[in-house]
Amino acid sequence: MSTFNRRKFLGTAAAAAGSAAILSATGTSAFAQDRRIRHFWWGNPERDKRTFEVIRLFNEKNPGIVVAGETLGSADYFTRLTTQIAGRNMADAIQMGYGVMFEYINRGAILPLDEYIGKSLDISQIDESALSAGRVDGKLYALSIGANSHVSLYNTRLFDAAGISFDPFGWTYDDLKRVAGEVTKATGVFGTDDNTADYQNFSDYVHQRGERLFDDEGNFGASAETIADYFAIWADLRAAGATPPGQVSAGLVGAELSNWGIVTGQTAISYAWSNQMVGVQNLMQDKVGAAMFPNTPEMIPGSIIQPSQFICLSRDTVDAEAATTYMSAFVNDPEMTAVLGLERGIPANAQVRAALQPKLTEIEATSVAFFDGIQGKTMNLAPPPPSGAQEIEAMFERVAVAVLLDQAPIPDVANQIRREAEGIRRRAR
């Protein structure tokens, strides 16, 4: 590896061929002594701006290592990653999410970090809970770059205008119906987005009903009754005129942040991951408030706190030591983490959290307050999702649209979801 890696090969090839085309393709510094690594993440304009600034800082502080950043929207990220896996040219450091990461670990696309700990990689200040979320079979595969949870974002101006009072950490679906109805009546803006086809909300609901999304054998655990009840909650809100028409909501399944109801002003509540709060607020004039997802009257915790994203070492890394040096700085370096702020979630490094505290923007303070509020009200992190979990999520969002469009009775759709989930699990083996 060290005697003839890809970078050296390209350098030699460029020198030998001396051709302008190859030179421009590899960059002129193929001749220099710099160790070059790539960092690939999914993002949005705000996150990209911060991450490129972090890369600039790192390059400045670490002569000899040059990091290049690559970014895509989340919709295209994983397809690009798969292409790169097949082509064996993944970036050295890649961003991963909790839901999908285990699929990549199981298949061997990600390398364990253990041999770099204490050398190029410093994990001494990282919370144990965050570390354990990135471990599989005792090996550390992933560094958490921020804690995350489900959040209901609401437009505080509209809520004030309608004179709404509710408990953001203990409200039920009945409360949601009341609140959404009052907002709609008082302001003419639809009370809430329609989450019929939202898998995150659905997954919370399944746990709130005392069921599990996947049992210990990895079988799909939501009963047809629970699925149907979930759809019924939203059908009820829809019928009451508290959500946009089903056909509008059908067009918004999986939409980018900028198309969400709360951002476009079409609705007063949208549902998100807490680390998306900064992004949403930056697209809005009105102030954003944060509440938990609603619950059933039994108040069984269904939300989770999990790493929003990880930074991982890819199988195709050309320089694991340089890559882990960069990854280490990404989660520990005070200057770099100050730039990142809370945009990817609450940092897992206690010192970093403390350093950020006095410099928080208003929306960041809201997000910290939200995290304080949900302590003790969330459930324990479920075991890593089984193979096929991603496909089941996509299937749910696809099939549930039939309910939004009124194309099939709710019990039929619920049964279909169970049947297809079982099929996907069988095929994933």
Q: Binding residue for other proteins (CB under 8 A) from 255, 283, 338, 355?
A: 255
Which one of 34-42, 177-185, 303-311, 396-404 is the stretch in contact with other proteins (CB under 8 A)?
396-404
Q: Is 7 in the site for other proteins (CB under 8 A)?
A: no
Q: How many whole angstroms separate alpha carbon 68 and alpha carbon 52? A: 9
Least Cα distance to 414 among 426, 396, 392 occurs for 396
- Please say whether the beta carbons of 179 and 243 come within 8 A: no
| 412 contributes a contact to other proteins by CB under 8 A | no
Closer to other proteins at the Cβ: 66 or 252? 252
72 contacts other proteins (rule: CB under 8 A): no
Name which of 55 and 399 has its Cβ closer to other proteins.
Answer: 399
What one-character DSSP code corresponds to residue 386?
Answer: P
- Please report how close the Cβ of residue 399 comes to other proteins at its closest, in angstroms: 8
Locus of tokens 């510094």:
29
CA 47-131-102 angle, to 5 degrees, is 75
Please identify which residue in 15, 75, 369, 382 interacts with other proteins, judged by CB under 8 A: 75
SS3 of residue 291 by DSSP: strand
Stretches 6-14, 102-110, 320-328, 374-382: which one binds other proteins (CB under 8 A)? 102-110
Residue 398 as a binder of other proteins (CB under 8 A): the answer is yes
Q: Which of 251, 297, 334, 383 binds other proteins (CB under 8 A)?
A: 251
Token representation of residue 46: 């705000």
Nearer to other proteins, 220 or 293 (CB): 220
Instruction: Determine if 358 is a binding residue for other proteins (CB under 8 A).
Output: no
CA distances from 153 to 1, 277, 281, 288, 291 (A): 49, 8, 10, 6, 6
Quote the tokens at residue 241: 């005129």
Q: Pick the piece of the chain touching other proteins (CB under 8 A) from 83-91, 131-139, 153-161, 210-218.
A: 83-91
Does 389 bind other proteins (CB under 8 A)? Our answer is: no
Q: Buried (b) or exposed (e) across 369-394, using 16+ Cβ within 10 A? A: ebbeebeebbeeeeebbbbbbbbbbe
Buried b (16+ CB within 10 A) or exposed e, 269-285: bbbbbbbbbbbbbbbbe
**Rounded to an integer, what distance in angstroms lies between the CA atom of residue 369 and that of residue 290?**
9
Number of residues that bind other proteins (CB under 8 A): 31
Choose one: 72-80, 135-143, 233-241, 289-297; the region binding other proteins (CB under 8 A): 72-80
Residue 310 C-beta: closest distance to other proteins, Å = 18
Minimum distance of other proteins from residue 191's CB (angstroms)? 19
Q: How far apart are CA 284 and CA 46, in angstroms?
A: 13
Q: In sequence order, which residues have a C-beta less than 8 Å from that of residue 355 and are 6 or more positions away?
A: 334, 337, 338
CB of residue 255 to other proteins, shortest distance in Å: 8
Looking at 209-344, list the stretches that DSSP marks H as alpha helix, in order from N- to C-terminal side. Answer: 224-239, 246-250, 261-264, 277-282, 320-332, 334-340
Alpha helices (H) in 125-244, listed in sequence order: 128-133, 156-161, 173-187, 199-208, 224-239
Asked if 405 touches other proteins (CB under 8 A), the answer is: yes
C-beta of 219 vs 247, nearer to other proteins: 247
Nearer to other proteins, 208 or 317 (CB): 317
- Our finding on whether 418 is near other proteins (CB under 8 A) is no
Identified binder of other proteins from the candidate list 7, 22, 34, 78, rule CB under 8 A: 78
Asked if residue 20 binds other proteins (CB under 8 A), the reply is no
Q: Is 25 a binder of other proteins (CB under 8 A)? A: no
Among 232, 191, 268, 239, residue whose Cα is nearest residue 411: 232
Of 8 and 427, the one with the shorter C-beta distance to other proteins is 427
For other proteins, the binding residues (CB under 8 A) are 75-76, 78-79, 82-83, 85-86, 103-104, 107-109, 247-248, 250-255, 315, 390-391, 394, 397-398, 401-402, 405, 407
